[in-house]
Amino acid sequence: MAPTWGPGVASVIGTVGLLVVLLGGGCAAEEPPRFVKEPKDQIGVSGGVASFVCQATGDPKPRVTWNKKGKKVNSQRFETIEFDGSAGAVLRIQPLRTPRDENVYECVAQNSVGEITVHAKLTVLREDQLPPGFPNIDMGPQLKVVERTRTATMLCAASGNPDPEITWFKDFLPVDPSASNGRIKQLRSGALQIESSEETDQGKYECVATNSAGVRYSSPANLYVRELREGWCVFFFFTFFTHIFTF
């Protein structure tokens, strides 16, 4: 026979149950870091660029840093660009030097729960050492000025064997078209198409050609997004000729 509870006991049980639910929901378990983007080994060309991308998740949110031989990277040619509230970081090396920069680099993700490390190897070749099929940028992006809300297309074409994969960087950070709700697309040609341009799209763009033989970066090109107003054409020609005479 099932026990019969009085109203006072039922009230206590209900209160305890509510407290258990509230406490259980408010005490989320902490999580150690876990990598969601790991850097890949790269073969670069002397005088060129290498970028290693690393990102982690966890609770509390981890901080990502870069080391070389167990010590924090420290050089004028080495730059760490953080993103995602320091949970991600790009290690950019420019210009590459051989054999000085050839090494294994360490991405470290750390929070109060734990620490993890992943490694990536960098090989740097001289131009006269490049194997057949090493990527080449046949056409890189050029300076462009676009009116806000219009479409901007940054061109890129590359060759190599096997056919290189083309990716893009903006202000030294990787461009992720899937995070733009379809507004930014990479075309089959390799070009980057930006619809309904916004001021946040303004910046320095590079296309990167990668295959099994190595990695090559294009020269950077600036995209300017401007409101249509008097003087827009003057700004365009001033910027264009300044860019030309810089070279």
Closest CA to 122 of 180, 62, 175, 69: 69
Taking the C-alpha atoms of residue 184 and residue 126, their distance in angstroms, rounded to an integer, is 35
In this structure, the dihedral spanned by the alpha carbons of residues 137, 141, 142 and 146, taken in order and rounded to 10 degrees, is 170
71-72 vs 63-68, strand pairing mode: antiparallel
pLDDT value of residue 75: 86
Q: In this structure, is residue 202 part of a structural domain? A: yes
Q: How many Å apart are CA 166 and CA 175, to the nearest integer?
A: 11
pLDDT at 24: 45
Decide: 114 and 33 in contact? Cβ < 8 Å: yes
Tell me how many domains the chain contains.
2
65 falls within a domain: yes
Does a structural domain hold residue 234? no
- Count, residues in the chain: 247
Residues in Cβ contact with 154 at an 8 Å cutoff, skipping those fewer than 6 apart? 141, 144, 168, 191, 192, 194, 205, 207, 221, 223
- pLDDT tens digits, 63-100: 999 999 889 998 899 999 999 999 999 999 999 999 99
Are 142 and 186 found together in one domain?
yes
User: Which domain, by its residues, includes 44?
Assistant: 31-125
pLDDT > 70 in the chain, percent: 81
- Whether residue 237 lies inside any domain: the answer is no
Torsion of Cα atoms, 41 then 39 then 53 then 204, to 10°: 20
Instruction: Tell me the pLDDT tens digit for each residue of 149-186.
Output: 999 999 999 999 999 999 999 999 999 999 888 999 99
In a domain? residue 161: yes
The answer to whether residue 19 sits within a structural domain is no
- Residue 140 sits in the same domain as residue 121: no
In a domain, 20, yes or no: no
Measured between alpha carbons, how far is residue 77 from residues 47, 49, 91, 99 in Å?
A: 11, 10, 10, 14
Which CATH number does the domain housing residue 47 bear?
Answer: 2.60.40.10
> Which of 125, 155, 171 is the endpoint of a domain?
125
